[in-house]
Amino acid sequence: MRFEDLRLSEPLLRAVRSARYVDPTPIQAKAIPLVLSGRDVLGCAQTGTGKTAAFALPILQRLSERWGGAKKPTGRVRALVLCPTRELAQQIHESFRTYGQNTGVRGTVIFGGVNQNRQARALRAGVDVLVATPGRLLDLMEQGLASVSGTEILVLDEADRMLDMGFLPDLRRILAHVPRQRQTLLFSATMPPPIRKLAGDVLRKPVPVEVARVSSPAPQVDHWVYHVEKPEKPALLMSLLEQTHTRTLVFTRTKHGADRVVRQLAKAGVSAAALHGNKSQGARTRALSEFRSAETPVLVATDIAARGLDVEDITHVINYDLTPEPETYVHRIGRTARAGAAGTAVSFCTSAEHADLRAIEQLLREPLQQAGDPPKSVEPPPAPRREVPVRAARSRPRGSGAGRSSKRGSRRRRSSTAGAVA
């Protein structure tokens, strides 16, 4: 299947070509014709599958088709995309801008944590596509600064995370102002019962579109686990990062935990930034852009802040703390091995986290590969980095370095970067 087979208009095909996409991803091949035909869609897909283009391209086509090339854009919100975080909202908005560059469709993005004046001005000037987080949109609606009563197409993206974050009441209040007569697309990485219930309420005869197994991570990720106790984690992290020369995303359970890890790394001379909800929008944007440009090779994030993070070439995800929700593990790992690349996931598991590990392995239907002994040192290593008192060779996941080739073709598909973290 090629993009040209999807009945997309020439301006969109040109944008796709300039984004250097060769072929549509599976979710794009499935969803684009459905959205173009006006059907409601229930999409089960994680980030990294190309789902943004799967809804943005056909929405742009539908919106521009109706102008018939002659009529001017109306300036009212005709497509509304709701998503859980500022970062995701920004990314979706930028995707609409990229794909819609030749269409004349206008869009804007609104989210909390920043002054609302610029957002209100953009809305007043008139937009066709509005990407928003629910809280700020509701705020602006209540002040009479935003209206969604002209919505023709509604997208709920990362619906499971919106529910996890407690956005359901806000969502319902927004939905009460959206016309019933509309096309609705709902995307979620997981489909627990509350999402099915929401889908039942907002979708009409939806076509289910599923890519990969429900809640399965990309197949080209290598999963490793280290059994360590809490005091050993800083030294283990350092020893892993020492040998990683690519972008690494580290997950902690709490915001304080993320700050603590960044401080420990800074002491050891490793440049890292924290991404979490207590950071100002400016600090978050800066952390992201420095991570994107590889100026800061390590980003330490909480789950909510990293949700939907779209940075190319994240080769390693380190779960400094495991998560009690196995689906969250899948989301975390979804940050690596994007769009067909290979990735490595390394988890630190303390004795208190064994149950979490078992739940993850149950969801993956496979055990994580056991890495070697953790380093003996319990102290965060001092700078300079060459003095790090860890025995790197023993902390290396089996299968890395020289041992890797002998493991090739083992039950899990190995990647060229597999094990490069250690």
The answer to the question of residue 103 lying near ligand AMP (CB under 6 A) is: no
In angstroms, give the least distance from the CB of 53 to ligand AMP. Answer: 5
CA atoms within 13 A on the CB side of 252: 22
Q: Do 249 and 318 meet the contact criterion of CB atoms below 8 Å apart?
A: yes
Q: Which of residues 258-317 bind ligand AMP (CB under 6 A)?
A: 310, 312
The answer to the question of residue 247 lying near ligand AMP (CB under 6 A) is: no
The answer to the question of residue 217 lying near ligand AMP (CB under 6 A) is: no
In angstroms, give the least distance from the CB of 334 to ligand AMP. Answer: 8
The answer to the question of residue 133 lying near ligand AMP (CB under 6 A) is: no
Among 11, 43, 50, 297, binds ligand AMP (CB under 6 A): 50
For 189-263, list the strands marked E by DSSP.
Answer: 207-210, 221-227, 247-251
Q: Which of 308, 193, 315 is nearest to 248 (CA)?
A: 315
The answer to the question of residue 47 lying near ligand AMP (CB under 6 A) is: yes
Among 233, 338, 396, 414, binds ligand AMP (CB under 6 A): 338
Q: Do 268 and 380 meet the contact criterion of CB atoms below 8 Å apart?
A: yes
The answer to the question of residue 350 lying near ligand AMP (CB under 6 A) is: no
The SS3 assignment for 160 reads helix
The SS3 assignment for 148 reads coil
Q: Which of 372, 389, 371 is nearest to 380 (CA)?
A: 389
Place of tokens 């804007």: 108
Nearer to ligand AMP, 161 or 338 (CB): 338
Among 15, 29, 43, 48, binds ligand AMP (CB under 6 A): 48
In angstroms, give the least distance from the CB of 49 to ligand AMP. Answer: 5
Q: Which of residues 20-39 bind ligand AMP (CB under 6 A)?
A: 21, 24-25, 28
The token pair at 75 is 């300036």
In angstroms, give the least distance from the CB of 158 to ligand AMP. Answer: 10
In angstroms, give the least distance from the CB of 290 to ligand AMP. Answer: 18
Nearer to ligand AMP, 82 or 265 (CB): 82
Show the CA angle centred on residue 279, arms to residues 276 and 284, nearest 5°: 75
Place of tokens 């990647």: 415
In angstroms, give the least distance from the CB of 330 to ligand AMP. Answer: 14
Place of tokens 């890519």: 211
The answer to the question of residue 84 lying near ligand AMP (CB under 6 A) is: no
Nearer to ligand AMP, 233 or 331 (CB): 331
CA atoms within 13 A on the CB side of 39: 15
Identify the H or E element spanning 314: strand 314-319
Nearer to ligand AMP, 3 or 348 (CB): 3
Omega before 194 within 30 of 0, i.e. cis = no
Count Cβ atoms below 10 Å from residue 356 Cβ, excluding itself: 21
Q: Do 275 and 289 meet the contact criterion of CB atoms below 8 Å apart?
A: no
Number of residues this chain uses to bind ligand AMP (CB under 6 A)? 15
Q: How far is CA 77 from CA 122, 174, 203, 289, in A?
A: 11, 13, 20, 29
In angstroms, give the least distance from the CB of 19 to ligand AMP. Answer: 6
Among 339, 352, 355, 383, binds ligand AMP (CB under 6 A): 339
The answer to the question of residue 90 lying near ligand AMP (CB under 6 A) is: no
In angstroms, give the least distance from the CB of 307 to ligand AMP. Answer: 11
Nearer to ligand AMP, 16 or 228 (CB): 16
Nearer to ligand AMP, 308 or 374 (CB): 308
The answer to the question of residue 332 lying near ligand AMP (CB under 6 A) is: no
C-alpha 36/C-alpha 17 separation (Å) is: 20
User: Exposed/middle/buried for 118, CB within 10 Å: 0-12, 13-18, 19+?
Assistant: exposed
Among 51, 106, 276, 316, binds ligand AMP (CB under 6 A): 51
Which residues contact ligand AMP (rule: CB under 6 A)?
A: 21, 24-25, 28, 47-53, 310, 312, 338-339
